[in-house]
Amino acid sequence: MTNASVATSPPATGYGAALVRALRSFTLLRESWVGMIGAAIVLFWVGVAISAPVLSPFDPNATVMPLQKPGAEHVGGGTFWLGTDHLGRDILSRIIWGSRTVLYYAPLATFTAYAVGIVMGLAAGYHRGWVDDVLSRISDIILSFPVLVLYIVIIATIGASGVNIVIAITFASGPGIMRIVRGLVLDLRNRDYVAAAQTRGEGSWRIMLVEILPNARGPLIVDACLRMGYVIITIGVLGFLGLGLPPPDPDWGGMINETRQMAMAFPHMTVYPCLAISSLILGFNLLADGVREISLRD
């Protein structure tokens, strides 16, 4: 008919096309300057984390010169741009290496929390009935604990390590995500295209994952960006409480915890890690705002 070339070849599918689409949707972000600032901050930290070995002037765990003010010169050459801590470690280097920790564990924990929350939410919202009752009551029970208490109990029970932090965060935020997903699914399951899928005999997991989930992505992406910020706070708080990653590897929350008693005398030891955490969270929050702004526009 009109387009003979189209008729002859099946369409290009696969990862290449998906990647192009993903990149194209990312360029949409240019229309929101708030989102662009957020993305810039996040990308800045990602860049820092990737090039940590190049950027950091000192070994983050090496004792060089204790209690130096920001800008002090090292006798053996080099500058402590942000000073050193009470053990003589260069704070800039620790912040740079610490970004690796946080940008590794925060997305990982968010991802696993989402994996659990989405599966639970899909099942509860799509099947309703007793599945919904059981899953919703479980999430009610978890949500009824103060989060901090929950973290302390979990980490105290299974020990402080990177993997256990991920487990604790997944356990505590999975139910919240499940609630969001369930609400979205309750609406989407009544759409005609879901009925069409049912009447052509699709299995329920296919309907949930292929027909329903992609249409819930808008609110979920916004929530994921915001939640990433909360997870970064949580990792910081756990570090601050001494439940974070075991020393000596740099961890922003841990850095604040170790030096907080000296904050009056040496504010730089706590202020700079605090700024690092805040800026990253701000970046994710602005990114979330930008994504929301764009998704509302269409």
Partner 1 sequence: MASRSEGPVLEIKDLNISYYTRAGEIPAVIDFSLSVQRGETIGLVGESGCGKSTVAMAIMNYMGANGGIKSGEILFKGRDIVRMTGDELRRIRGSEISMIYQEPFAALNPSLTVANQLMEVPLVHEAIGRQEAYARAVQMLTDVRLPDPERIMKAYPHQLSGGQQQRVVIAMGLLSNPDLLLLDEPTTALDVTVEAGIVKLIAEISRKFGTAQIYISHNLGLILETCDRVFVMYSGEVVEEGTINSLFTWPRHPYTHGLFGCIPLPTANKNAAPLQPIRGQLPLPHERPRGCNFGPRCDYFVGGHCDAGKVAMEYVSDAHDSDHRVRCARFRDIDHSAYLKPKNVREAAEVGENVLEVRDMQKYYELRDASIGAMISGKGVTYVKANEALSFSARRGETVAIVGESGCGKSTFAKVLMGLETATGGEIRHEGRDIGNVSVHDRTPEQLASLQMVFQNPSDTLNPSHTIGHQISRVIKKFGVETDKNKIHERVMALLDTVKLPRDFYFRRPRQLSGGQKQRIGIARAFAGNPSMVIADEPVSALDVSVAAAVTELLMDIQREHRTTLLFISHDLSVVRYLADRVVVMYLGQIVERGSTEEIFDPPYHPYTEALLSAVPIADPEVTKREIVLEGNLPSVTNPPAGCPFVTRCPRRQGAICEQQRPPVQLVSEGHAIACHIPLDELRAVEPVIRVPSEDERAHA
What residue ranges bind partner 1 (CB under 8 A)? 1-3, 6-7, 10-11, 191-193, 195-202, 210-211, 214-215, 217, 298
User: Closer to partner 1 at the Cβ: 82 or 194?
Assistant: 194
What is the nearest approach in angstroms of partner 1 to the Cβ of residue 8?
Answer: 9
- The token pair at 4 is 């003979």
- From CA 133, how far away is CA 43, in angstroms rounded? 41
Q: How far is CA 233 from the centre of its chain?
A: 10
User: Closer to partner 1 at the Cβ: 215 or 278?
Assistant: 215
User: Closer to partner 1 at the Cβ: 156 or 196?
Assistant: 196
What is the nearest approach in angstroms of partner 1 to the Cβ of residue 192?
Answer: 4
User: Closer to partner 1 at the Cβ: 3 or 157?
Assistant: 3
What is the nearest approach in angstroms of partner 1 to the Cβ of residue 18?
Answer: 12
Angle in degrees, CA 218, 219, 222, rounded to 5: 95
What is the nearest approach in angstroms of partner 1 to the Cβ of residue 199?
Answer: 5
Say which residues have a Cβ less than 8 Å from residue 223's Cβ, sequence separation at least 6: 177, 180, 288
> What is the Rg, in whole angstroms, of the alpha carbon atoms belonging to the chain?
23
Q: How far is CA 265 from the centre of its chain?
A: 34
- From CA 81, how far away is CA 96, in angstroms rounded? 12
What is the nearest approach in angstroms of partner 1 to the Cβ of residue 119?
Answer: 19
- From CA 125, how far away is CA 187, in angstroms rounded? 9
User: Closer to partner 1 at the Cβ: 164 or 198?
Assistant: 198
- Where are any strands of DSSP class E within 193-277? none
